[in-house]
Amino acid sequence: PQVFQNELYRFGGLNSLRGFNEDELFASTKFSTTVEYRFLVDKNSNAFVFYDQSFYENRAISYKKDHPFGIGAGFSFGTKLGIFTISYAVGKQLSNPLDMRLSKIHFGYTAYF
């Protein structure tokens, strides 16, 4: 069956595959996992190192299969308003080498209710 571009999974960025732009990657099938080690600073703050890995295929226009990954480190800190997160990551995709000039800095915020 034909798969249209708007029906594909979009991933990449802070909440899925760090080291890539937000929703940069498209897939008709995907699997993602994360390994993250956290160093607790206080109740709502931690420093961390991580490894994000995905396996995907895209059948929309032409068949493409890859297993991109991102590695890096970051810090999350709690405030009265919520938890702020900053991550530094570099990603590798297809046959491209790890290139520090293409690394990303991700900022995130989780609100308290």
What rounded mean pLDDT belongs to the chain?
93
Q: How much is the pLDDT for 62?
A: 80
pLDDT class for 113, splitting at 50, 70, 90?
confident
Residue 15 predicted with pLDDT over 80: yes
Output the CA torsion 45→81→11→66 (10° steps): -10
Distance CA 59, CA 26 (A): 10
Distance CA 96, CA 67 (A): 12
Q: How much is the pLDDT for 27?
A: 94
Residue corresponding to tokens 């297993």: 67
Residue 44 predicted with pLDDT over 80: yes
Cα distances from 51 to residues 28, 60, 68, 103, in angstroms, run 23, 28, 11, 14
User: Which tokens go with 79?
Assistant: 């405030």
Residue 54 predicted with pLDDT over 90: yes
pLDDT in tens, 56-92: 999 887 888 999 999 999 999 999 999 999 999 999 9
Listed by start position, the domains of the chain span 5-111
